[in-house]
Amino acid sequence: MTQGSNTRPLSPRRGEGQGEGLTRRELGAAGLSLLFASRTSASSTNRTLVVVFLRGGVDGLAMIPPKDRDYEALRPNLRDEAPLELDRSFGLHPSMSALQLLFTQKRLAVVHAVGQLRPSRSHFDAQDFLESGLAGEKGADGWLNRALQSLPGGGAFTAVAVQNGVPYALQGAQPIVAFPSLRDFRVAPGQAQSFEQLYAAAVDEALKVRGAEAFSGLQAAKGLAALEPKNGAVYPKGQLGRRLQDIARLVHGDVGLKIAATELGGFDTHLGQRQALAPRLKELADGLAAFATDLGERLSDVCLVTVTEFGRTARENGTRGTDHGTASAMLALGGAVKGGRVAGDWPGLAAAQLHEGRDLRVTLDVRAVLAEALSSHLGIPSERALPGVKPSRTLFG
């Protein structure tokens, strides 16, 4: 199939209006597919947004390969033999079979040719720009922390990063808790109170704030680490599986979790991409599938999206890999996400259609999709978190 148009929807819209309580909206003037079905904001009180940062720059073309002659020509040595079927225009990386069922069940959506409107091919800058939420600029705080200002919170676990350190996206004035593992998040009871007092009196502001977060979190976390996965969910070995399981525990524990962040690295596949990428994508797919199974019915309250700093060059490089590019693909799972579709505007991969002659072109601002997740899923205005961008109508209908 040749992709000639810049604005053509990626896949036929199907299954619209099937979900419970979904409100159908019409396609916007920009030709965006509709993926989210919005609910009234009154029901958004138990909602959680999970953002999984895939660091290193995910090759969206390998993850969601287009059925496209141009693509074949650009990747003579890189294409995977037999992509799984998503729809008539796109496939799924063969190592991501765990996601196929979620896609068929319309709980998982894909957004393609999505990226930053002021991109950078530096990991460092591109990650910062994405996490600041300021499009090509860096600021004092991150977009998810600013989103918290609009959320009724107050609980220790309103916002959590299950990873090492506080990611830039969650840094800022609002309290958040970050830890790599619930299991290790405890202090000997005899000393906890003394430490709490020491940190309450800390001169260093960051230590004082993080200390307060730690000690209220320690209270709320009691017992959660022992929760077993539900519905027979089996998480894959590795960091992402453990971290998603901890997020599921916080959801099941009803601790008031609104925003959760975690990350997976290793997507910077300059060399030997076929071997390097498959295990990463498998870890991601198996992790998301286990998370969905574990949450069961609670998945309707939880929306998970993946983001990455940039896509990779459309053309393979000289070392059977890909270099830093521009647009990529994102995954959206759960909540009222209108799944079972590949959304976005496919720009095509013909020579004249490539960004700067080398990358998949960005036709959808990732900030607009994230703004949609804030407004449609969490039911909060997105302007403060992601200024100057209107929510897209990509994920929720």
Partner 1 sequence: MLAFPIPANGWDRGKQAQHLLSRAAFGPSAADRARVEQLSPGGWLDEQLKPGADAELEAKLAAHYPTLSLTVTQALEQYPSIADRAKELGVQDKEEVKAMMASRPYELPRQLVLELTQAKLMRAVKSRRQLEEVLVDFWFNHFNVSAEKGKVRWLLPSYERDAIRPHVLGRFRDLLGATARHPAMLIYLDNWRSRASGLNENYARELLELHTLGVDAGYTQEDVREAARVLSGWSLEGKGSDDWGDFKYRRRAHDTGEKRVFGLVLPAGGQMDDGERLLDWLAQHPKTARHLCFKLAQKFVSDAPPPALVEALAAEYLRTGGDLRAVYAALFGSRAFWSDEAFGAKTKTPLELVVSSVRAVGDLTLVQPQLVKAIEAMGQPLYRATPPTGWAEVAASWVSAGALVSRINFGLKLAKNDMPGVQVPLASLPAGDPELVVDALAMQLLGAPLSPDSRETVLSAARADRDPRVIAGLLIGSPEFQKQ
CB of 351 to partner 1, least distance (A): 17
Q: Closer to partner 1 by CB, 90 or 179: give it.
A: 179
CB of 146 to partner 1, least distance (A): 16
Instruction: Check: CB of residue 175 under 8 Å from CB of residue 144.
Output: no
CB of 201 to partner 1, least distance (A): 4
CB of 180 to partner 1, least distance (A): 6
Measured over all CA atoms, what is the biggest interatomic distance in the chain, rounded to whole angstroms?
68
Q: Whole-angstrom distance between the N-terminal and C-terminal Cα of the chain?
A: 27
Q: Closer to partner 1 by CB, 358 or 384: give it.
A: 358
Residues 26-33: contacts with CB under 8 Å, at least 24 apart: 27/393, 28/392, 28/393, 30/345, 31/7, 31/345, 32/343, 32/344, 32/345, 32/364, 32/392, 32/393, 32/394, 33/9, 33/341, 33/342, 33/343, 33/344, 33/394
Phi, psi of 333 (to 5 degrees): -135, 140
CB of 363 to partner 1, least distance (A): 20
Q: Closer to partner 1 by CB, 123 or 298: give it.
A: 123
Instruction: Check: CB of residue 296 under 8 Å from CB of residue 249.
Output: no
Binding interface with partner 1 (CB under 8 A):
55-56, 121-125, 161, 164-166, 171, 177-181, 184-188, 190-191, 194-195, 197-199, 201-204, 206-208, 210-211, 213-214, 217-218, 265-266, 268, 270-271, 317-319, 321, 323-324, 356
Phi, psi of 303 (to 5 degrees): -115, 125
Q: Which letter does DSSP use for residue 308 in this model?
A: E
CB of 218 to partner 1, least distance (A): 7
Q: Closer to partner 1 by CB, 36 or 53: give it.
A: 53
Rounded Cα distance, 345 and 366, in Å:
13
Q: Closer to partner 1 by CB, 218 or 292: give it.
A: 218
CB of 308 to partner 1, least distance (A): 13
Rounded Cα distance, 348 and 66, in Å:
9
Q: Closer to partner 1 by CB, 246 or 372: give it.
A: 246
Q: At 1, is the secondary structure helix, strand, or coil?
A: coil
Q: Closer to partner 1 by CB, 159 or 248: give it.
A: 159
